Amino acid sequence: MAPSRLLPRPLMSSEQRKAFPFSEFEPKWQGEWEASKAYRTPNPGDTDFDASKPKYFVLDMFPYPSGNGLHVGHPEGYTATDIIGRFKKMNGFNVLHPMGWDAFGLPAEQYAIKTGTHPRVTTEANVANFTKQLKSLGFAYDWDREVNTTDPGYFKWTQWIFLKLYNSYVGDDGKAHPISELEAQGLSRVEIDHRRLAYVSEAPVNWCPQLGTVLANEEVVDGKSEVGGFPVERRPMRQWMLRITAFAERLVKDLEGLDWPDSIKLLQTDWIGRSEGAFVDFEIVHSRSVVVNTQWHPAGSQVVPSNSPLPLHLDPIRVFTTRPDTLFGAEYVVLAPEHPLIAQMLGASVIPTQWPTGTPDSWKGTNENVRDPYNAVSAYCTQASNKKERDRLQEGGKTKTGVFTGVYARNPVCPTKLIPIWVADYVLVGYGTGAIMAVPAHDDRDFEFAQKFELPITQVVQPSSGQNWQGYTGEGIAMNSDFLNGLPTPEAKKKIAAWLEEQGLGKGTTNFKLRDWLFSRQRYWGEPFPIVWENGQHRGLAESELPLLPPTLEDFKPTGTPEPPLSKATEWVQYSATAKRELNTMPQWAGSCWYYLRYCDARNSERFVGEAAEKYWMGGGKPGGVDLYVGGTEHAVLHLLYARFWHKVLFDLGYVSTPEPFQRLVNQGLILGEDGQKMSKSRGNVVNPDDVVREYGADALRLYEMFMGPLEQVKPWSMKGVEGVYRFLARVWRLVMEVDDEGAWSLSKALQDVPANKQLTKALHETIKKCGEDIEKLSFNTAISQMMVCTNAFTGAEVKPAAAIVTFLKVLSPFAPHLAEELNAQIRSKFPALAAKRFLSDETWPAYDPAALIEDEVEVVFQVNGKLRDKARVPIAATKEEIEKIALASARVQEFMDGKPAKKVIVVPGKLVNVVV
RNA sequence: GCCGAUGUGGUGAAAUGGUAAACACAGCAGACUUAAAAUCUGCUACAAGGAAACUUGUUUGCCGGUUCGAGUCCGGCCAUCGGCACCA
């Protein structure tokens, strides 16, 4: 028989295993905070609102409540903002720190398709789960301000803002104005529809058959949908667009005044892609205009006259270029395959049915069977339009293809010089004018193309330093350029732009990469458009008809055609005998474009946000209203750009008081799995916050996430690290509590109402100082290590001074609010005068005493030639001369001076002495 | 290809141009314990020498520069990660 002690022992209750009873007091305090509405934030107009306090609006990117629940990445940013919010509150600010749900979106809809469960049901369940999880972490949110984008009381205003966009245009001042101004000017319906910020377009879009919806360019990655990775094809469809491009200039410029990381500003700037240049018009010389000899063509051929008697007017080819100074080097013109002029030229038989005499074979395209330009061009264009975006990029990488149209254009600076017009898909229809002038000598792409297709390459820029001019794209001195010769690039640009304008051949202009925002989706679970169609025309609903609820549908499946699922709600669709509703819904971005505004006044049923509330919470004299916005980098471009756009429209129309929404932005870094890989189910390295809370408590989770490293950095998870901060919290617990004879926790006898000694006082005040500074800088990891140092100092003391420990708990409370609150309450039971009366969050952040930080003596290091050789403690008040004397007297210093005289002695008081020999 | 971020012990990391490695994790040793866990105390960048206290040298991706002094500033390169990708 085995000795009894080797038998499995009865399982200890989990309470006994715990180093401190967090699982008891954490829910207890959460309950108390909730019951007493400890974190309710009064609004202007409320009886308990104190207008004398400054405001601090600290915002998290609100989550999509997925079925998977919270992952450890969520609490990273949320804890950071929670600490800041609690800290600011203790420093006398009115703090707005809300939470809500970005709950429209594809997963709930796809789940509905699979199971038949209505997305509203799924969403409600997920929100309930997320709420429970977030509450278990003790965040100081004002839950009375919770918003949910799928709540009719919320999306009523999303629809309302859409109507504002629909009923606005951008004037010459670059600002949004009500469309009524145009009506007053007597503009026609068509003209007005052309100016609206929300307009209908037939442009080719990214259609994803599997998802049954179109996607914005930004939602397509490598020709596949960002969600799900399904193939995406291009097809023309009628869609709602938002005219964000009208704000491109301001969206770049206004970044200046924001406290955002430079890298994020750069990302947005690059995305918007502003470039200055000029439009230049190239007249198309064709058989139905005037016949002109080609000057330079290798075969010296002529454009073949057709037998068509009627002259035909064709608009010139307008190109955009950032290098108008190289116009003399333009050797050919390229149209994007989708360029409207191509269809026009094909239709009007401008593109000939025979290659001009002497056309090199390389110009005739790759299709062997096509023997004439007409068919070569149409074949090339068909092929290009069928190609998915992905193939255009992937197919042979970036090898250039193209075909000569058989038609020539006139170079405006050199009317006798005719240059061939090509079609090639390296020119994108969506950028600039969809056409370019090719200057092979000074553009990489044109250079590559010209080499491949044996087109002439003429130097027009002399590089400043002796680089090879072929393919030189930098600035230099103009040459072979008539009246530009000898001018440096910037001057040449100015001169040619002025000349073009004078001649009516072109115009200086600014262009952007940014395209208008494709705003409609063929989905069920999104905001319906407040639009009806009658007699082929759209019209906005009256405000009084909002919110427009989605129809109740049993069948959410995509129709398999571009017809949205809402078409299945036949009754709902029929607005009146003659009018039908718009069937598209808004994209998920819509709700997140303005949620921060709703938080200011979440229950207002009269207005999207009350005026006084908006002025107070979003005001403050800075361009951005939200004081701190924390979220992931994945939203660095889209969400932030869209929200800024909407905000500017609302600002122009006078609905909000700042031109920008977010003043300070911080991106938290991704948390990786313990294996250093991205957390994912398939890798099996996902950490569930619920498990961490169960094992170590919410405070330990919060603290660990902040202790891991700098907030912005990508960092791997470590359960051992969680244990480390858990042990720290247990040490704090034992400063106050000890196990009594019954094995229960009771107040420590070492805890006494005595003043702290000099050493402890210093440690405490250093901690107050450093933590305050570090919280402002969001350097939570170093703040925590300072609290550890402080705790270690207190642990080493025989007697624990109660008042000093309460002060310490105040500093700890933003980080570990439950433990701090519990220990404060424990101390209050014996020392009511020393502890906080109610909650620590009601207390004032302690002030540090600079005098407590100063010591009588400091350690000064002595260097010889920059190398550390000796140290000594010297009085803090010692003069430079005295310190120098002490240093030179040091035996070690003398030894390393090796008898040589000191050439120079640098003395940094309180720090070091460096003797140079 | 272009743009950006990062690079420091076995690990996460810290350092207004002024003692590199604070604070943790892991490891080692000791105390407590019948024992273990927990807790407490100490050691712990690397190399060489020394019984030891200690001494000397080297070290912040690599190469150079500025400076009395560089992880930090400047120039060049390399690697990893992220973004963009024919934007004229």
- pLDDT, tens digit (0-9, with 9 covering 90-100), for A715-758: 999 999 999 999 999 999 999 999 887 778 999 999 999 999 99
- Name residue A339's amino acid: H
pLDDT at A412 (0 to 100): 93
> Strand B closer than 7 Å to the CB of A911?
yes
A628-679 pLDDT per residue, tens:
999 998 888 999 999 999 999 999 999 999 999 999 999 999 999 988 888 8
Which residues are paired to A280 by β-bridges?
A319, A506
User: In this structure, what token pair is assigned to residue A456?
Assistant: 């002439």
Q: What is the CA radius of gyration of chain A?
A: 35
A889 CA vs B29 C1’ separation (Å)? 39
pLDDT at A212 (0 to 100): 80
Cα separations in angstroms, A358 against A307, A368, A505? 21, 17, 30
Tokens 């010089």, residue? Answer: A417
Measuring from the CA of residue A429 to each C1', which nucleotide is nearest? B87
pLDDT at A736 (0 to 100): 95
> Strand B closer than 7 Å to the CB of A681?
no
Is A914 a residue whose pLDDT tops 80? yes
Distance CA A319, CA A438 (A): 10
Give the strand order in the sheet containing A665-667: A94-96, A55-60, A628-631, A665-667
> Strand B closer than 7 Å to the CB of A320?
yes
Residue lying closest to nucleotide B81, CA to C1': A714
The pairing of beta strand A660-662 with beta strand A624-626: parallel
* CA atoms in the 13 A half-sphere facing the CB of A161: 29
pLDDT at A398 (0 to 100): 67
A809-865 pLDDT per residue, tens:
999 999 999 999 999 999 999 999 999 999 999 999 999 999 999 888 888 999 998
Hits for CB < 7 Å against strand B across A residues 886-905: 892, 904
* CA atoms in the 13 A half-sphere facing the CB of A489: 15
Distance CA A833, CA A483 (A): 89
Listed residue (A639, A632, A544, A628) closest to A590, CA to CA = A639
Q: Please tell me the least confidently modeled range out of A225-234, A297-306, A525-534.
A: A297-306
Which of A288-302, A654-668, A678-692: highest mean pLDDT?
A: A654-668
Is A10 a residue whose pLDDT tops 70? no
Region label for A857, one of left (φ > 0), alpha (ψ between -120 and 50) or beta (otherwise): beta
Mean pLDDT of A266-272: 93
> Strand B closer than 7 Å to the CB of A780?
no
Residue lying closest to nucleotide B5, CA to C1': A263
A406 phi and psi angles, rounded to 5 deg: 80, 0
Distance CA A851, CA A765 (A): 9
* Contact by Cβ (8 Å): A321, A276: no
Is A9 a residue whose pLDDT tops 80? no
A210 phi and psi angles, rounded to 5 deg: -65, -45
Distance CA A342, CA A385 (A): 13
User: In this structure, what token pair is assigned to residue A408?
Assistant: 């020539």
- Name residue A138's amino acid: G
> Strand B closer than 7 Å to the CB of A443?
yes
* Contact by Cβ (8 Å): A401, A387: no
User: In this structure, what token pair is assigned to residue A189?
Assistant: 């319906």
Distance CA A197, CA A163 (A): 10
Distance CA A556, CA A524 (A): 7
Distance CA A475, CA A469 (A): 11
DSSP per-residue string spanning A53-90: SPEEEEEEPPPP--TT---THHHHHHHHHHHHHHHHHH
Sign of the Cα pseudo-torsion (A431, A437, A442, A448, in order): positive
User: In this structure, what token pair is assigned to residue A202?
Assistant: 């037939």
Residue lying closest to nucleotide B2, CA to C1': A270
Residues present in chain A in total: 917
Domains, chain A, with CATH or none = 160-251+518-589 (no CATH), 274-512 (3.90.740.10), 855-916 (3.10.20.590)
Mean pLDDT of A573-580: 95
Residues 6+ apart with CB under 8 A from A214: A205, A206, A207, A208, A237, A239, A518, A520, A521, A522, A562
Is A11 a residue whose pLDDT tops 60? no
User: In this structure, what token pair is assigned to residue A788?
Assistant: 């550890």
Measuring from the CA of residue A905 to each C1', which nucleotide is nearest? B68
> Strand B closer than 7 Å to the CB of A853?
no
Is A501 a residue whose pLDDT tops 50? yes
User: In this structure, what token pair is assigned to residue A228?
Assistant: 């799900």
Q: Which ipTM did the prediction report?
A: 0.95
pLDDT at A909 (0 to 100): 86
Is A13 a residue whose pLDDT tops 50? no
DSSP-derived secondary structure letter, A370: -
pLDDT at A313 (0 to 100): 78
Residue A368 pLDDT class (50, 70, 90 cuts): low
Which residues are paired to A585 by β-bridges?
A521, A528
A678 phi and psi angles, rounded to 5 deg: -60, 135
> Strand B closer than 7 Å to the CB of A192?
no
DSSP per-residue string spanning A862-915: EEETTEEEEEEEEETT--HHHHHHHHHH-HHHHHHHTTPPPSEEEEETTTEEEE
